[in-house]
């Protein structure tokens, strides 16, 4: 099955980013395709490479970058939401991209499911 | 049973306007999706019904208002606007308090509409 | 002590929780989405009436206007940001987030 | 249709709102802070029992463990992320945020 | 009436742990403030009481747990931990379910403590 | 009167940043001193200069920078919260600073009031 994910909250502040990641991991492990993770609202902050959490904590943006690298999952941040919150190409983690909401619509159309995680 | 390439996508507005950006950015999403000729609907539940309240004047809080944008949806062929009757009533509001024409439905009717959807996005 | 409430009483438990800890005479100020609490004839009218027996109640006017609320419960004072400052000068503050 | 709820029933109206729109037979999955709803003997036990009459109820095990909830209401199935995926494969999803 | 340079600062924990970071970052704030020899207190109200629940194991969600950090507060001379009785009871919890010794108070008692504070911070 | 402000939510996503600003403006207009605005939790995102909202919208980080420049209000972001969320010296608006929680404690002690705005 092909699955798209919409993530609406920023990293660390809400569990949404963690649940979305754990879900994606499990779906891939079970042989499904996770097509894309689309970041909206504060969710766009998931892909800043400037984050620098404590050593013993998870690194949320690297984790998304890895998911792209290892499993081809598109990691996309909405451009309008990103501009409001200071996310731009200069700070993006490798493997992620800033794009328009048309792309989210395509994701909704071409996948069997679109799952939302947020607050 | 309908066009296989057309998806039923429902946007559920559940938050009050202005206190958070969810409804406003939700509306931005809907306006883009409207160009893709999918089967879109909007449902207003809980505090989401406040987004449609007439006479909102946001000048004093310094935030852009957007209630009028709901009126523009018609021009994008987004015509399915449903409001939950209970949510309206417990807030002391009626259809005459809203900026656009909507269809007021019972919760069970909205529940069955939800069940028909391919995608549901809460804002 | 001034208590501020910034959430709609319909969506979170802020109002109902705050009420349990209110001391008689403490002013309550509704701001942001909290101002829906002072609209007439909604499900929380009775709750609000209970508060008003022992506590002065205020609502931030710019937030009322932004939400199109003109029919506010009698006895609630609409104040502007200057009035908010005056209340803060007069009282310590307990912001129920 | 699978309904997910990620908020504590005490702090927001997610559970009570979702319930009004649930169709008989639709599975309900509690995740994140939503899992507090399935702990035994809390204020929402009756509400949950009502849901369980017509709907299968699940809770995400890792979220239960994280919150130290071991005494869950009888009849609620604890599942892991793999089980979450299975439910999503079987149903369209309605995530009540 | 007490040292003029010592302020009464109350931290109110109102959110469940893990779903959001507020309680965890609140605790980080408290640990720093503890070094400043102010009159600190912590109050657990509503879902905040869940932060103190025994046997939390966060390994499965991949987030660091912090319930044990509340036990360390004693070492920082932060000894005023109050829990709202109603909040505990409506959640089906008792003192024996909590990781630390706390004082369980009636809402009105917590209300009067609040009234004595110079600063109250909700997390 | 001397007033400190604690702001716990990010810009645009929640009204907290706007209410805090409007309150600060009014307090200064009425002759009070706003000593500092301390940013915590997602609030640290208030000071990224990379934000680029629509032309007809307010620019929240510039507004905080102006408040510092015109009225000497300290605009401080917590270092631990900033690191988690990718806020660092490179992206700070002029007039703001990254600092420790000890500074917040000082603000709580030296002001007549400490007001919290958040979600």
The tens digit of pLDDT for each residue in A20-33 reads 999 999 999 999 99
Per-residue pLDDT band for B5 (boundaries 50, 70, 90) equals confident
Q: Which of D13, D23, D95 sits opposite B112 (nearest CB)?
A: D23
Closest CA to A5 of A64, A55, A86: A64
Percent of chain A's residues with pLDDT above 90: 100
Predicted pLDDT at A23: 98
Torsion, CA C74, CA C80, CA C84, CA C87, rounded to 10 = -60
Backbone dihedral region for residue E38 (phi beyond 0: left; psi -120 to 50: alpha; all else: beta): beta
**Mean pLDDT of the E19-32 span:** 98
D34: nearest CA partner in chain E: E19
pLDDT mean over E5-32: 97
CA distance to partner chain B, nearest, from residue A78 (Å): 10
Chain F contact partners (≥3 CB pairs within 8 A):
A, B, C, E
| E strands, E3-115, in order | 8-13, 39-44, 81-84, 103-105
Among A81, A102, A116, beta carbon nearest to B25: A81
Question: Is A88 in the active site?
Answer: no
Among residues E62, F21, F3, the alpha carbon closest in space to that of D81 is found at E62
Q: Chain-wide mean pLDDT for chain D?
A: 98
D9 touches chain E (CB under 8 A): no
Q: Which residues of F touch A (CB under 8 A)?
A: 10-13, 41-42, 45, 48-54, 61, 83-88, 90-91
Question: What order do you get walking across the sheet with E8-13 strand by strand?
Answer: E103-105, E81-84, E39-44, E8-13, E119-122
F80 contact partners, CB below 8 Å, separation of at least 6: E25, E28, F100, F101
pLDDT of E1: 45
Q: Find the mean pLDDT for residues B84-98.
A: 98
Query: Best interface-test mutation with F: which of A85, A89, A98 has the largest number of F CBs within 10 A?
Result: A85
Q: Helix H segments across chain E?
A: 22-33, 69-72, 85-90, 107-116
Chain B hits for C61, Cβ within 8 Å: 60
Reply yes or no on domain D2-96 having CATH 3.40.1260.10: yes
Residue C80 clears pLDDT 60, i.e. is over it: yes
What percent of chain A clears pLDDT 70, i.e. is strictly above it? Answer: 100
- CB spacing of A83 vs F48 below 8 angstroms: no
Residue F115 CA to residue A48 CA, distance in Å, equals 30
Q: What's the average model confidence in pLDDT over E34-44?
A: 96
pLDDT band of B3, cuts 50, 70, 90: low
Q: Cβ separation of E47 and D65 shorter than 8 Å? A: no
pLDDT for C41-70, tens place per residue? 999 999 999 999 999 999 999 999 999 999
The chains in contact with chain B, meaning 3 or more Cβ pairs closer than 8 Å, are A, C, D, F
E73-79: list long-range contacts, CB under 8 Å, 24+ apart: E73/E30, E73/E31, E73/E34, E73/E42, E73/E100, E74/E100, E76/E31, E76/E34, E76/E35, E77/E34, E78/E30, E78/E34, E78/E40, E78/E42
- pLDDT over threshold 80, residue B2: no
C96, D10, F97 from A119: Cα distances, Å: 19, 15, 29
At B4 the pLDDT is 64
Which chains contact A through at least 3 pairs of Cβ atoms less than 8 Å apart?
A: B, D, E, F
Q: Compute the nearest-CA separation of D48 from chain A (Å).
A: 22
CATH ID of B8-122, from 1.20.1580.10, 3.40.1260.10, 3.40.50.150, 3.20.20.140: 3.40.1260.10
In tens, the pLDDT along F90-114 reads 999 999 999 999 999 999 999 999 9
Residue D46 has pLDDT above 50, yes or no: yes
Q: Please judge whether C23 and E115 are an interchain contact, meaning their C-beta atoms are less than 8 angstroms apart.
A: yes
pLDDT attached to residue E5: 76
- Cβ contact A83–F51 (<8 Å): yes
Task: Give mean pLDDT, residues A80-91.
Answer: 98
Element (DSSP H or E) covering residue A67:
helix A60-71
A88 min Cα distance to partner chain F (Å) = 7
Enumerate the residues of chain B whose CB falls inside 8 A of the CB of residue A41: 21-22, 25
Domain boundaries, chain A: 2-117
Q: ∠C82-C86-C88 over CA atoms, to 5°?
A: 115
Cα–Cα dist D60/D84, whole Å = 7
Q: Where are the beta strands (DSSP E) in B2-110?
A: 8-13, 39-44, 81-84, 103-105
CATH superfamily of F2-117: DsrEFH-like (3.40.1260.10)
> CA F60, F63, F65, F68: dihedral to nearest 10 degrees?
-130
| Least CB–CB distance from A27: residue in D33, D85, D97 | D85
* Dist. CA F94–CA F82, nearest whole Å: 16
Q: Given CB atoms, is C66 within the 8 Å cutoff of chain E?
A: no
The string of pLDDT tens digits covering residues F8-31 is 999 999 999 999 999 999 999 999
Question: Residue D60: pLDDT above 70?
Answer: yes
Q: CB neighbours (10 Å) of residue A35?
A: 20
């Amino acid at each position: 099955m092909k699955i798209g994910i919409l993530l609406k909250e920023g990293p660390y502040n809400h569990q949404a980013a963690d649940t979305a990641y754990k879900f994606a991991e499990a779906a891939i492990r079970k042989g499904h395709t996770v097509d894309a993770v689309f970041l909206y609202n504060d969710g766009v902050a998931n892909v800043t490479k400037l984050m620098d959490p404590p050593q013993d904590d998870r690194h949320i943006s690297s984790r998304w970058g890895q998911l792209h690298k290892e499993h081809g999952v598109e990691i996309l941040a909405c451009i309008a939401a990103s501009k409001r919150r200071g996310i731009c190409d200069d700070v993006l983690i490798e493997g992620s991209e800033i794009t328009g909401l048309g792309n989210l619509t395509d994701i909704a159309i071409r996948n069997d499911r679109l799952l939302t995680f947020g607050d | 049973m309908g066009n296989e390439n057309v998806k039923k996508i429902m946007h559920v507005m559940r938050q009050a306007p202005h206190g958070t950006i969810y409804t406003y950015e939700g509306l931005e999403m809907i306006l883009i999706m409207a160009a893709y000729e999918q089967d879109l609907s909007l449902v207003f539940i809980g505090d989401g019904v406040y987004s449609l309240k007439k006479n909102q004047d946001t000048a004093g809080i310094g935030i852009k208002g957007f209630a009028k944008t709901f009126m523009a949806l018609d021009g994008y062929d987004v015509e399915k606007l449903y409001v939950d009757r209970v949510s309206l009533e417990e807030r002391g509001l009626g259809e005459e308090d809203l900026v656009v024409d909507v269809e007021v439905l019972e919760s069970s009717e909205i529940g069955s509409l939800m069940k028909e959807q391919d995608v549901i996005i809460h804002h | 002590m001034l208590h501020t409430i910034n959430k709609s009483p319909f969506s979170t438990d802020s109002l109902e929780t705050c009420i349990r800890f209110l001391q008689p005479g403490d002013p309550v100020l509704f701001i942001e989405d909290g101002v829906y609490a002072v609209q007439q004839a909604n499900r929380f009218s009775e709750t609000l009436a209970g508060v008003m027996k022992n506590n002065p109640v205020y609502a931030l006017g710019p937030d009322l206007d932004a939400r199109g609320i003109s029919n506010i419960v009698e006895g609630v004072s609409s104040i502007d940001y200057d009035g908010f400052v005056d209340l803060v000068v007069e009282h310590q503050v307990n912001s129920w987030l």
